[in-house]
Structure 1
């Protein structure tokens, strides 16, 4: 067996979708000892796109010189539940659909299709899959906003913050924190409890003008986010 080599699949094909070979499943002919997944290392992502979002990283394979690999596939689990089967893999990652949800993502049940010079073609040959996991989070709606209005000493804040769910529905992030800048550092003013529509209002009486921003602390479901600093209000 040769030392580790990266799968000879085109990385560009992964981004394009990696079309599957349309052959019927036949009994495996190759020796599973001749093909090995040497490691899976994936990078966390935020699902900005409505459809596919590419999870990058490294998926390494090692195989005998008499073997040619045509396709590599795996099942995808999110929070321990299988959400997709036979998903095409490339050496640099795979396409992830936002509809599969957010949370801890794992690749399981890796299978390979190819040919062995000694034993012939093989399809969907199971290969031992090493432990792996990566975090996927939904994006905060880019239209989320905080508005400021001052009338004399009264300063009113109106905030709307939601994230884009697996189905595309906008869902409240639950809470967000107003911060103000003092001596070059951001300080907490108020943590807002957002309603089901992601909205909250807050007011204070303050003569001094300061710069403000809104901060959202991410969870296992959605990303962290913040607005840019306001002008002094």
Structure 2
């Protein structure tokens, strides 16, 4: 597969951690960005952890710039960005959502992936290496649901953003390939939060509990394998 390096957000747990592990097992280099700590560096020497809260959107460009300075860009055949980190809450009717809750959610789930993408493309435009960006979305970006207005809106934004950037890149000499990926329902902490709410607090909590109890949730590792296939997919003509 050649020399590959990936920047992945949300690598301290869930899908992000599993994608990082699969890439590292294949011999890729991974830079993980997460608010929490990670022990992946104890097992894999090609893993570098960057502890950073994506809520701080003004610090993102510095983080990407510093990461890219550490990568021997001339020897890299493929460099990728996987925008996986997101938050689910606030899970309540919009008239009960506080301005701070809405702002933090949109910063982490929508503004941060947009800025990460902007910074990644800008700082790698001089490269001849293949560049890939995967934005993790959700069916919630297409299907409205009560008490999920912020989450559905941020995922709908990710979907549209990805399409816009793909159009921009299509005319470039070495375009960054950008795709959006809907993993389906996955057994992650986000799901646990949703099914742990009371019906009064979150009307759909029962549906989330049923999906879990009926074994309808995918494992984070299965989803990570799907993302890996996308990373290794043929270059579109």
* TM-score, with length taken from structure 1: 0.28
| Bigger relative CO (Cα 8 Å, ≥ 6 apart) | 2
Larger fraction in strand: 1
Q: Give the number of the structure whose alpha-carbon radius of gyration is greater.
A: 1
